[in-house]
Amino acid sequence: MKRKITPTHKERTLKEDDFIISKTDLKGRITYCNRIFMDIAGYPEHELLGIQHNIIRHPDMPRAVFHMMWETLKSGNEFFGYVKNLCKNGDHYWVFANVTPSYNDRNEVVGYYSVRRYPRPQALKVITPLYQEMLAAEKQAGAARAIEASTALVNNKLNQFGKDYEHFVLEI
């Protein structure tokens, strides 16, 4: 059961040379996390291992971003994206995440691996209002149509620049 955490709106920031690392199984349950992950999110290791990665999901994050992430991973590709995460006490921290499938020696996907680093403040100036718009579109569309609505919104916007989300986030 996921505990309800109330956001404090207080931001924690990564250092430029910090890397937050976690690994999951195929369902997104955490199988490994590094010390920086535990320190910034505010959880001891035993409260993270075996737990769904959505334990740090922030309510300001549009669902369409995670949908894109899972679709990208399931098609065998790596995902890049900006994510706002929730700490145990309700604070938050932004990261630039790279998530990749992990393979065994028979070339089967056995889990996923994520490395996150300091997000460029300049990029967050673009991402924060974009995610706010996506979230508003999701709320307006209702749960059943949320992902469709905000995916359409983000695609429309990015099409104007001739880019998809991945190329967009790699360039901002």
Site string for ligand FMN, 16-35 (x = CB under 6 A): ------x-x---x-------
Identify residues 63-102 at the interface with ligand FMN (CB under 6 A): 63, 66, 83, 85, 99
Minimum gap (Å) between residue 162 Cβ and ligand FMN: 28
Exposed/middle/buried for residue 97 (C-beta within 10 Å: 0-12, 13-18, 19+) = buried
Q: From residue 102 to residue 121, what is the string marking binding to ligand FMN with x (rule CB under 6 A)?
A: ----------xxx-------
Tell me the CA distances in angstroms from 79 to 82, 83, 96, 113, one per residue in order. 10, 12, 10, 10
- 3-class SS of residue 62: coil
Read off φ and ψ for residue 64, nearest 5 degrees: -60, -30
Binding residues for ligand FMN, rule: CB under 6 A, are 22, 24, 28, 52-54, 56-57, 63, 66, 83, 85, 99, 112-114
